[in-house]
Structure 1
């Protein structure tokens, strides 16, 4: 069975993260997107140190979808340079891995509605 993949990204707020996350799930590029609000960030950007309120999104997918998932995420993301970190999964419960594979199966049509 193919290995699961976690993708880490951040968004300016939960509403945007949920809209993008739903699109990724409907496209079957992700089985699930967890949106974690309440993060404060300090980061370097264009020669300055910035602070922002953000949310974290953890995207559950599979390794073979890394590139199309990243492309779809970047196409929908409001940031000029979104953070897209692929976090390989060393192991997973077989039922979890099977669920991710089933929900991101290439042989299934995207969700509608």
Structure 2
């Protein structure tokens, strides 16, 4: 994957996270505060816990830090998949955000 392809795909992930937060806040009372600074999005939950998602441009990866730990994702041609087997990015983000929000939440890629 070229640097430009990586940036296009990775930026789409960050945009999807932001749009999912907007949708979740409209549909639930999760009240997730999301803030983007450059290639990083920080999700802050009511209990003060955070999930940080950031781009790692030199490695062509997306990193996610949650209460349970840190995760690295690479694009496999179809999905952003964890490099150590934790699964697909949006499914994993949904699990982590649900745990931190205390209610079931679903994050999904842009259509």
Normalised by the length of structure 2, the TM-score is 0.33
**Relative contact order: is structure 1 or structure 2 higher (C-alpha 8 Å, sep ≥ 6)?**
1
Q: Which structure has the larger Rg over C-alpha atoms?
A: 1
Q: Which one has a larger percent strand, Structure 1 or Structure 2?
A: 1
